[in-house]
Amino acid sequence: MLSDQKEPAKADRVNALIAEMSLGEKVGQMVQVSSDDGTLTDTLRDNIRGGRIGSVLNQVNPDVVAEMQRIARDESRLGIPLLIGRDVIHGFNTVLPIPLGQAASWNRELVQKGARYSAMEAASRGVNWTFAPMLDVSRDPRWGRIAESLGEDPYLASELGAAMVRGFQTDDLTQADSILSCAKHFAGYGATESGRDYNSANIPDTELHNTYFPPFQAALAAGVQSVMTSFSDVNGEPPTASVWLLRKILREKWGFPGFVVSDWGSINELVSHGVAENDCEAAQLAVNAGVNMDMVSNVYASYLQDLVEQGIIDEAWIDEMVAQILGVKFKLGLFEASLDTVDSRLPTENHLNMARQLALESVVLLKNDQDLLPLDIESSQTIAVIGPLADDGYEQMGTWVFDGDAELSQTVLDALKDSHGNSTTVRHVRALDTTRSYDAREFDHARTAARESDVVLLVLGEESILSGEAHCRSDIRLPGAQEALIEAIVECGKPIVLVIMAGRPLVLDAIVDKVDAILFAWHPGSMGGPAIVDLLFGDAVPSGKLPITFPRAVGQIPIFYSHRNTGRPPSKDTVTHVDDIEARASQTSIGNQSFHLDVDPSPQYCFGYGLSYTEFEYSELTLQPLRVKAGSQVEIDVCVTNTGSREGEEIVQLYTRDPVASLARPIRELKDFCRIKLAPGERRHIHFSLPTDILAFFDRDGRKRLEPGRFQLWVGGSSEADLIADFELVG
């Protein structure tokens, strides 16, 4: 029986409906099928009419969706509407930067707006449920799905994931263009071993509570109404069969009111995991764990009714599973919704403008020697545009773009010609057919273009297929002959701006010193071209900050900023390099500390890093009170000054550390951030209020611990900020 203090009327409607349902109709609500081929087959019609299906995914033809809903509402016995699901991960027809790129914007409001516009476009095709936001914290860029994540930090992922939930659902789920969001993949998927997808994840319970759970808790607080289980087993237990995760934590501890959907086929994958003998046992394990809906494995449709009739599963438990699904359908207003699609004129100009702004704020300036950027139009009369991603509207969209319209894309070459074609001569050479190509026959052509130009714009990176689900890489350098292409262009002796489009951090160690400037654009989406060109010529100033650490070498992975200190942290002065070790050096002569012999222990670029065309100075950091009582808050003030000659936006970041606690705590943790725009020379005082509760951590039993003692606090423009202050938490 569903009870809902906030909406008792809805709960009554749910319970009344369940009382009328046959067991077969109840099981039907727990079944999701895919309409991959886009047609409405007779089988699908019959199953909808017979009440044997509760949801369909991958159908985005509005007329077919309307017909499916009409059958469900007007021809089935009880008229229960369908949930129509789709992966609206970073846009719909208008494609936004990949989520990892959006995370580099650190812009809660803009990320929320991006989800809002995406929901409007999807709802106009009859979609009422998206399988987003993906909230898997990940610290392994070998993993293809890091592209879909919001990066390595629980706080940043929490803030932006909650923003996406608000954008998709608005504060009125019954609104015609509100769509149900789905927090996925619960839980710990981002720790998949060796960055290989679907692999096991071994995560201590303290790490689950302190690192992997918070974004899901933030999504719940933002009102998310569905959760998806993850493929990877966590410590030997697949989440799709985990009573601990889905009932003890998600429902009993966190009070989640919505429903859980398995990931694609992950119920019958319990057999492959080795926790179920067969599909029937898999069905029993999953439903007992609290998986409400079976995504396409057909295991619930095949076995649940028998399991109830044999008395193995209690029908009252099925009623509870179904009530949670129906409760969400009522919250979505599906029973009253019109079958007309909401606005088939979408996408519109303002969607493209929003995509452009999000792309602008997602790009991270990694290097800018001699202030080469922004380009001076006078000294950039002829520009060589070289590389396989300079003019590829499909590849710049990135992974998970089922409904992305490549025709909407504006490439770097398009934008350069549109905006500067009258004043600048552009010499375009693709040079490599794909990012994986080793065919260097076009390199001479590229060299000629470079020699005849004032500046070279290289647009390189990864094709979209090299990231995303199941597309993991063991070597994360620029693929194919792209490094060789850089070498070839360097010989021409011209200034080089490198724009990288990729679905993950790349190892850039071999090329970072060979080019003058680097803009990292992730896969920037439909409007990546105009955004990048605006930045190249200073019509916009880079403001992106890395949401993920860039390693110097793949062997450093996992490498992330919020690590623990260890008993022997590497100290700069003793670190040596494998080539410098004297022959027959004694075992202890080079220092027994935590580093690799063959690579500097620091990252190539740290979390929160990003340059601007101006500089920002931090000063006057003050805290009040210096002794703060648990349950109150610390008031923090800092002054930020734009000391450069251009207006710029800065992302002010606040980190804390608990240097002595009952468990070793990270050397820094992000606790707040804000974006500010400052004119040249402008000084501004920024204020943060830090509730002491945010300083707590969970122990191995999942108990929240707020321990009195000294805390350190930094404010600055990256996780390596050095403006520091101390305060004390008193009991």
What residues are annotated to the active site?
Answer: 263
Binding ligand GLC by CB under 6 A: which of 131, 300, 443, 697? 131
Which residue is it, tokens 């251009």? 646
Q: What is the DSSP string of 437-506?
A: ----TTHHHHHHHHHTSSEEEEEEE--GGGSSTT---S--S--TTHHHHHHHHHTTT--EEEEEE-SS--
Pairwise CA distance, residues 195 & 200, whole Å: 10
Closest CB to ligand GLC among residues 148, 392: 148
CB of 87 to ligand GLC, least distance (A): 5
Binding ligand GLC by CB under 6 A: which of 17, 52, 53, 87? 87
Q: Give, in order, the Cα–Cα distances in Å from 481 to each of 5, 62, 503, 505.
A: 62, 44, 18, 18
Closest CB to ligand GLC among residues 25, 263: 263
Residue 184 binding ligand GLC, by CB under 6 A: yes
Closest CB to ligand GLC among residues 232, 549: 232
Can the peptide bond before residue 187 be classed as cis, meaning omega within 30 degrees of 0? Answer: yes
Binding ligand GLC by CB under 6 A: which of 264, 335, 394, 537? 264
End-to-end CA distance of the chain: 43
Tell me if residue 515 falls in helix, strand or coil. coil
Pairwise CA distance, residues 694 & 656, whole Å: 10
Position of minimal CB gap to ligand GLC: 131
Site string for ligand GLC, 435-474 (x = CB under 6 A): ----------------------------------x-----
CB of 243 to ligand GLC, least distance (A): 22
Closest CB to ligand GLC among residues 158, 297: 297
Tokens standing for residue 72? 């469900």
Binding ligand GLC by CB under 6 A: which of 140, 263, 279, 669? 263
CB of 472 to ligand GLC, least distance (A): 14
Residue 153 binding ligand GLC, by CB under 6 A: no
* Among 702, 706, 674, CA closest to 692: 706
Closest CB to ligand GLC among residues 282, 489: 282
Closest CB to ligand GLC among residues 469, 615: 469
Closest CB to ligand GLC among residues 103, 670: 103
Residue 4 binding ligand GLC, by CB under 6 A: no
CB of 99 to ligand GLC, least distance (A): 12
CB of 550 to ligand GLC, least distance (A): 25
CB of 192 to ligand GLC, least distance (A): 12
CB of 261 to ligand GLC, least distance (A): 9
| Phi, psi dihedrals of residue 642, rounded to the nearest 5° | -85, 105
Pairwise CA distance, residues 291 & 307, whole Å: 15
Tell me if residue 379 falls in helix, strand or coil. helix
Beta-carbon contacts of residue 428 (< 8 Å; ≥ 6 apart): 384, 385, 386, 390, 391, 413, 449
Pairwise CA distance, residues 99 & 97, whole Å: 6
Closest CB to ligand GLC among residues 127, 636: 127
Beta-carbon contacts of residue 591 (< 8 Å; ≥ 6 apart): 571, 574, 575, 576
Note every long-range contact of 245-253, with CB atoms under 8 Å and residues 24 or more positions apart, other chains counting: 245/186, 245/187, 245/289, 246/186, 246/289, 246/290, 246/291, 247/289, 247/290, 249/213, 249/702, 250/186, 250/216, 250/290, 251/290, 253/702
CB of 480 to ligand GLC, least distance (A): 27
Site residues, ligand GLC (CB under 6 A): 87, 131, 184, 263-264, 469
